Structure 1
Amino acid sequence: MQFRLEKRREPSRFMLYATPVAAVLLTMLLGGIIFSLIGYNGFGAVREIFLTPLTNPYKWQDLGVKAAPLIIIGVGLSIAYRANVWNIGAEGQYIIGGLAGTGVALATWGMTGWWILPLMVLAGMAGGMAYASIPALLKTRLNVNEILTSLMLTYASVQLIYYLIRAPWKDPMGMGFPQTRLFSEAARLPTIIPGTIVHLGVPMAVLVGFIAWFVMTRTVFGYRMRVVGAAPSAARYGGFSENKTIWLAMLVSGGLAGLAGVLEVAGPFQRMVPGFPTNYGFTAIIVAFLGRLNPLGVIVAGVVLAITFVGGEVAQTTIGLPNAATGIFQAMMLFFLLAADILIKYRVRRVTHQASVETA
């Protein structure tokens, strides 16, 4: 007797959007049980991580700031993944975007002018696109797997940060700390709500999500991404070049990751520091899948993952939960989501030996 996976008919829209909710609920339940078994207040941790950021008005501003980069990067990844282009190196593109924006901020340090911040944004997007073009080139010219190349380039970008802030970009007045000088006022993102840390990048992230939704559902570009990802043979028959699609997907996802990087360095950080790599690029992979590769769903998923970041910080101080707990909850969320996808798209069928012989 053997078992095999058999594909079900196309899952309903309700099931597609109900499974992310179920994944979050299962994460809360199992996470509470696991942390209780290892000696923590497990369900107290679930309360602090998933509910306190929503019930405490003082944490709402943190949610917006944390969600903004996750949404922007997640939207870019959702577009690439729709086309079956697996950009796993968004963290590296986010870092290069932040470095490119930092370069402009340092070159214009002490200057004033409305043009400085837009120039930083353009530099950040260009930096992210340039870094994403490396795996795109290797994929289209040498058929090198973009998963490996984009991922490995992430670690090179981290080392580039450490070099720059310890040598050429080191703050001469920083008392030896590895960091750049504080950006000029013209190179910082303005806050949109006085007395809070909510900066201009937060509404920009939501706007990016809505623009991406329109592009993916109402334009030829979006149609190309969806067709190439869903039916490559039909796409070739329709005249869509696979290589061109790879380039477009990588450049868009890399450019948006770079945008998130420059908004982050010009907003919350206001200088380049060793702690700039915050794993937003990796977490955005969960955001993209939790949002069902739909830009509007990514906005909601970005807020959900931001809740775990903010709630994880709260749980560290109130319950003494380790910092790694946030990553554990996020990993469980992705695991349950992928498991649910398999269950709604496939079913396990028992095949007897006799049936197998007759089929042969």
Structure 2
Amino acid sequence: MMQFRLEKRREPSKAVLYAAPLIAVLLTMFFGAIIFSAIGYDGVGAVREIFLTPLTNSLKWQDLAVKASPLIIIGVGLSIAYRANVWNIGAEGQYIMGALAATWVALSTHGMTGFWILPAMMIAGVLGGAAFAAIPAFFKTRLNVNEILTSLMLTYASVQLIYYLVRAPWKDPMGMGFPQTRRFAADALLPNIIPQTIVHAGIPIAIIVALVAWFIMSRSVFGYQMKVVGAAPHAARYGGFSEKKTIWLALLVSGGLAGFAGMLEVAGPFQRMVPGFPTNYGFTAIIVAFLGRLNPLGVIFAGIIMAITFVGGEIAQTTIGLPSAASGIFQSMMLFFLLAGDILVRYRLRRVASQEEARA
């Protein structure tokens, strides 16, 4: 009986590593067309509407920018954590908690005016996301509980908290019974940077966050610590880097950035808290981080690609009748092909002799 084992290849070149995400996108488009054609939809049209129409239709560019900004910010935070081998899967919950903290500031200051309200909401958003990420950090460093499980399970708790708050203590008394908060005051809203559009100030902030993170990760002791602890934990301990401290830093930074993204969303496109605020940006940002090769600059382009699938999925629903889950299917396929490509460029299957062949 033939036996095989995975054998590690030599370290692939940067060109190969950065070509893999592009190939994953192309394979997603190819097999997506086949799959949707097989189940009775216009497969070629699905690929066209999801991947090309958002780029060719200038009216959709502002939608791309708005959807890409939270993905970029959350993806940057996750890329930092994953560099350190800290697997924060609960960015969606941290995104929600940051938005809730910012909403609390907005509601508490309702009727007030002042330039300080928006910065206070930003600080609250970062602290809310970081505080929620501190829970899995505590359990990981004190009790060695897997951070994947704790961070993921906390996401569902944050969703239930939204439902409670918008239906009871934060419910808008003038909202005609709808479960939502009152609309934020003008000083608690992000300004639009282009008149007559939905392009708000959070979009350039997302680019700035990615550039600052790239500089820190490539030029600072903090970035070096994240990389060394993730790549060679034994060498990191020998060099004086604490693994527990790194876990705390990675989770607090990724949670804080997710919370910051939540604040920008609730003060930008939503302008109030509603039950539909959870939009799976935190989960999609996991794909963004890997598609961007855990590099903050790469995350910018990966965030745009994933935003294209969101906007294209909405277009395809109205033009060719695709189900709402179509964009999620394409995103999942993209992650699958990306991870499969990573295995192929780093490992190869090698046939090993069975016991009978060895004795012969």
Q: TM-score scaled by structure 1?
A: 0.99
Amino acid at match of 1:214: F
| 1:333 is the counterpart of 2:338 | no
Q: Deviations over 1:249-291 (max 9, x none)?
A: 0000000000000000000000000100000000000000000
Match of 1:87 in 2: 88
Q: Measure, in 2, the Cα distance between the counterparts of 1:61 and 1:331.
A: 25
Shift of 1:107: 0.3
Match of 2:112 in 1: 111
Amino acid at match of 2:26: L
Q: Measure, in 2, the Cα distance between the counterparts of 1:353 and 1:209.
A: 51
Match of 2:61 in 1: 60
3-state SS in 2 of match to 1:3: strand
C-alpha spacing 1:357/1:84, structure 2 compared with 1 (3 Å): same
Q: Measure, in 1, the Cα distance between the counterparts of 2:291 and 2:182.
A: 38
Match of 2:350 in 1: 349
Q: Deviations over 1:212-241 (max 9, x none)?
A: 000000000000000000000000000000
3-state SS in 1 of match to 2:110: coil
Match of 1:97 in 2: 98
Query: 1:59-208 maps to which residues of 2 (within 5 A)?
Result: 59-208=60-209
Match of 1:281 in 2: 282
3-state SS in 2 of match to 1:199: coil
| 1:46 is the counterpart of 2:44 | no
Shift of 1:353: 1.6
Q: Measure, in 2, the Cα distance between the counterparts of 1:251 and 1:304.
A: 27
C-alpha spacing 1:355/1:266, structure 2 compared with 1 (3 Å): farther
3-state SS in 1 of match to 2:345: helix
Q: What's the C-alpha RMSD, in Å, of the aligned pairs?
A: 0.9
Q: Deviations over 1:121-180 (max 9, x none)?
A: 000000000000000000000000000000000000000000000000000000000000
Shift of 1:84: 0.2
Q: Measure, in 1, the Cα distance between the counterparts of 2:358 and 2:177.
A: 74
3-state SS in 1 of match to 2:197: coil
Q: Measure, in 2, the Cα distance between the counterparts of 1:36 and 1:324.
A: 16
Structure 2, unpaired ranges of 5+ = none
Amino acid at match of 1:164: L
Q: TM-score scaled by structure 2?
A: 0.99
Match of 1:31 in 2: 32
Q: Deviations over 1:24-51 (max 9, x none)?
A: 0000000001000111001101000000
3-state SS in 1 of match to 2:350: strand
3-state SS in 1 of match to 2:349: strand
Match of 1:243 in 2: 244
Shift of 1:110: 1.4
Match of 2:20 in 1: 19
3-state SS in 2 of match to 1:11: coil
Q: Measure, in 1, the Cα distance between the counterparts of 2:272 and 2:111.
A: 14
Query: 1:195-344 maps to which residues of 2 (within 5 A)?
Result: 195-344=196-345
C-alpha spacing 1:186/1:356, structure 2 compared with 1 (3 Å): farther
3-state SS in 2 of match to 1:348: strand
Shift of 1:60: 0.3
3-state SS in 2 of match to 1:111: coil
Shift of 1:355: 8.7
Shift of 1:352: 2.0
3-state SS in 2 of match to 1:239: coil
Shift of 1:354: 5.2
Q: Measure, in 1, the Cα distance between the counterparts of 2:198 and 2:309.
A: 19
Q: Deviations over 1:79-114 (max 9, x none)?
A: 000000000000000000000000000000111110
- Please identify, of 217-226 and 347-356, the stretch whose mean Cα deviation from structure 2 is larger: 347-356
Structure 1, unpaired ranges of 5+ = none
Amino acid at match of 1:183: F
Shift of 1:357: 4.1
Amino acid at match of 1:140: T
3-state SS in 1 of match to 2:7: strand
3-state SS in 2 of match to 1:350: strand
Q: Deviations over 1:298-339 (max 9, x none)?
A: 000000000000000000000000000110000000000000
Q: What number of residue pairs does the alignment pair up?
A: 358
